[in-house]
């Protein structure tokens, strides 16, 4: 169910989530118990709704209304969801219009499982095949987090775990850069807080039977194509923050340290690029026989 509401000013208080509240306020003020986030662009909104995320409202430029109607018709809600529709010239006044292209949705944050239950559910779902998860430690660039999620979705990562020191995967830019794949790849938080990290994270992984591989530039790092890595039935790949990489304790507690062999004196890749290389090497490959389906929304 939905209700179309025409608006003629961005000063309307009902649009505060889109126009005035910060990311922190979205998490803590409007919905203090669960929080909300903003999905930008029709492609991202479509993936969020198809993944079962609950939309609280939409804000659309007039030109997008007809295209989104099939998605709106699929909503199964008790109360009508407000669909605010504005002239395109009004939408162009919104910061980031060139990226959102005039389509946004305010959505309720889905609940996150505890790390132990999450890991066990991935193992059960795998049905005996190898399981691969990625642990993001201290990554503070939302673009990198979004790009890692997109690679994880494309290259068959089973799940992503986010450390207490890593930025929010549902931050606007992270969601946008991920092209909505943050709703397709299972993820949750791991570790109680920064003071106890990474000890409690490793404890959860070990209880679930996972070996750990730290991607780090050390002299005793093994090559990413080392056959022994592929033999692990359950493997967690640790990716570290931009510049400094993983913290020393994480490297020390990992079962193995891994690096990507590089030529021409290049010592490292951007963490998002490195994640894609690692996922391709260590995760099950998808058949090239799939049918290419262009995005529904241009």
Q: Quick one: angle between helices 42-50 and 65-73, nearest 10?
A: 0
Residues 28-39: tens digit of each pLDDT: 544 434 588 889
How would you classify residue 32: left for phi > 0, otherwise alpha for psi between -120 and 50, otherwise beta?
alpha
Q: Which of 266, 53, 249, 237 is nearest to 160 (CA)?
A: 237
- Which pLDDT score, from 0 to 100, does residue 238 have? 98
**Those residues with Cβ within 8 angstroms of residue 6's Cβ, 6 or more apart along the chain or in another chain:** 85, 86
Residues 55-84: tens digit of each pLDDT: 999 999 999 999 999 999 999 988 999 999
Q: What is the mean pLDDT of each run of 10 residues along the chain (298 residues)?
A: 93 84 54 71 93 95 93 93 92 67 89 96 96 97 97 97 95 92 97 94 98 94 96 97 91 96 91 97 89 59
CB atoms within 10 A of CB 204: 20
Give SS3 for 5: strand
C-alpha torsion angle, residues 48, 50, 55, 61 (rounded to 10): 80
**Those residues with Cβ within 8 angstroms of residue 199's Cβ, 6 or more apart along the chain or in another chain:** 249, 253
26, two tokens: 């979205």
- Which pLDDT score, from 0 to 100, does residue 99 have? 53
Alpha-carbon distance values, 134 to 85, 120, 270 (Å) = 39, 15, 16
180, two tokens: 């909505």
Identify whether the C-beta of residue 121 lies closer than 8 Å to the C-beta of residue 158.
Answer: no
How would you classify residue 128: left for phi > 0, otherwise alpha for psi between -120 and 50, otherwise beta?
left
- Which pLDDT score, from 0 to 100, does residue 31 have? 43
pTM (predicted TM-score): 0.91
């Amino acid at each position: 169910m939905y209700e179309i509401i025409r608006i003629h000013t961005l000063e309307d208080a009902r649009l505060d989530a889109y126009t005035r509240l910060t990311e922190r306020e979205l998490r803590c003020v409007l919905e203090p118990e669960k929080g909300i986030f903003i999905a930008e662009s029709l492609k991202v909104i479509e993936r969020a709704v198809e993944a079962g995320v609950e939309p609280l409202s939409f804000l659309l430029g007039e030109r997008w209304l007809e295209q989104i109607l099939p998605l709106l018709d699929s909503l199964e809600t008790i109360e009508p969801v407000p669909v605010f529709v504005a002239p395109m010239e009004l939408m162009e006044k919104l910061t980031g219009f060139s990226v959102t292209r005039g389509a946004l949705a305010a959505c309720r944050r889905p609940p996150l499982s505890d790390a132990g239950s999450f890991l066990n559910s991935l193992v059960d779902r795998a049905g005996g095949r190898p399981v691969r998860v990625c642990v993001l430690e201290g990554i503070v660039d939302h673009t990198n987090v979004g790009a890692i999620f997109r690679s994880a979705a494309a290259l068959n990562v089973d799940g992503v775990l986010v450390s207490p020191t890593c930025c929010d995967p549902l931050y606007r830019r992270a969601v946008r850069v991920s092209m909505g794949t943050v709703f397709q790849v299972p993820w949750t938080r791991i570790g109680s807080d920064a003071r106890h990290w990474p000890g409690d994270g490793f404890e959860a992984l070990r209880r679930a039977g996972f070996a750990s591989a730290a991607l780090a530039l050390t002299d005793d790092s093994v090559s990413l194509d080392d056959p022994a890595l592929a033999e692990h039935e359950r493997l967690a790949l640790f990716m570290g923050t931009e510049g400094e990489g993983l913290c020393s304790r994480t490297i020390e507690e990992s079962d193995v340290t891994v690096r990507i062999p590089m030529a021409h004196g290049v010592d490292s890749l951007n963490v998002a690029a490195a994640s894609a290389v690692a996922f391709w090497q260590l995760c099950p490959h998808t058949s090239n026989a799939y049918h290419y389906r262009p995005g529904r929304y241009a």
